Amino acid sequence: MFKSKTIRSGGNAKTIKGDKFGQYETAIMYLAPASQSLMGNVCPMAGQAGCEMGCLSKAGRAGMFSSIVEARIAKTQRYFKSRETFMADLVKDIAAFVRYCAKKQVKAAVRLNGTSDIQWEVAHPCSRDGVTYTSIFAAFPEVQFYDYTKIYKRAYRSLPSNYSLTLSYSEANPAYASAIIKTANETGANVAVVYRTKHGRDAIVGQAPWMAIGDEVLTSREVIDGDETDMRFTDPRGVIVGLYAKGPAKRDNSGFVVG
């Protein structure tokens, strides 16, 4: 397990499962989602996507211990108070994680948006060893970064080769769902869909279900088991990443959870 001011590994059941493949170890950064920090919104599409109620920030240990929530709020407030200082801490912590992984003879993977949806590829310069880079991805080419996102415009950007994004689907807002489908069709980006139950998700793994919202139809895509591992950068291109509802998401009726 690796733990620092900004990121940590070994605390997420899915990443631990994926790390068992022996090639990677994944560190995740958890912030206070949406506007929970009371200083800004790190999930700008949360309202449209209807994902606040079923947010995974309320699942697992964070749903049981207020100290974890308080720590995430404090971390997010540091991000808003001084981005430059926050980025310096992040660089220091990722560098330490790279060294940690080297000692274990595994590759470093980092998910910056564990409970946020920040556009790290823009307006987040940082410095490493006295050199200034346009992004954290450029500063650490040896690290594999990945995230889920509801900000669909990000899929149209020319992202760094070491950053993988998976679109996050929701039917809470027809316009949002339509935009996700349109973006997936035009860019080929993978789409994560949260199904009501594990049984319901498992029943369609390997199949290509029909998905249509308004005039937008998601072209036939195979559903894969997205809970087998969290390493989305290893998924084949052009699939639906099937997840099943956990924690508060089991009771979600907004449309974020399908079925």
The token duo for 7 is 């990121």
What is the rounded average pLDDT of the residues 105-124? 96
The set of residues, in sequence order, having a beta carbon less than 8 Å from that of 48 and lying 6+ positions away, is: 150, 172, 173, 175, 176
Q: What is the pLDDT, as a whole number, of residue 54? A: 53
State the pTM of this model.
Answer: 0.90
> Could you say which DSSP state residue 11 is in?
-
Considering only residues 160 and 246, tell me which one the structure prediction assigns the higher pLDDT: 160
Tell me the C-alpha distance between 226 and 175, whole Å: 25
Q: What is the pLDDT, as a whole number, of residue 41? A: 93
Say whether 146 sits in a helix, a strand or coil.
Answer: strand
pLDDT at residue 15 greater than cutoff 70: no
The set of residues, in sequence order, having a beta carbon less than 8 Å from that of 157 and lying 6+ positions away, is: 121
> Over the stretch 135-164, which tens digit does the pLDDT of each residue have?
999 999 999 999 999 999 999 999 999 999
Q: What is the pLDDT, as a whole number, of residue 249? A: 80
Q: What is the pLDDT, as a whole number, of residue 67? A: 86
For 95, counting Cβ atoms within 10 Å of its Cβ (0-12 exposed, 13-18 middle, 19+ buried), the class is middle
> Over the stretch 41-94, which tens digit does the pLDDT of each residue have?
999 998 887 666 556 554 444 444 588 889 999 999 999 999 999 999 999 999
Considering only residues 109 and 212, tell me which one the structure prediction assigns the higher pLDDT: 109
Residue 134 C-alpha from the chain's centroid: 21
Tell me the C-alpha distance between 179 and 169, whole Å: 10
Q: Which of 45-54, 167-176, 204-213 has the largest mean confidence? A: 167-176
Q: For 236, what's the count of Cα atoms within 13 Å in the CB-facing half-sphere? A: 9
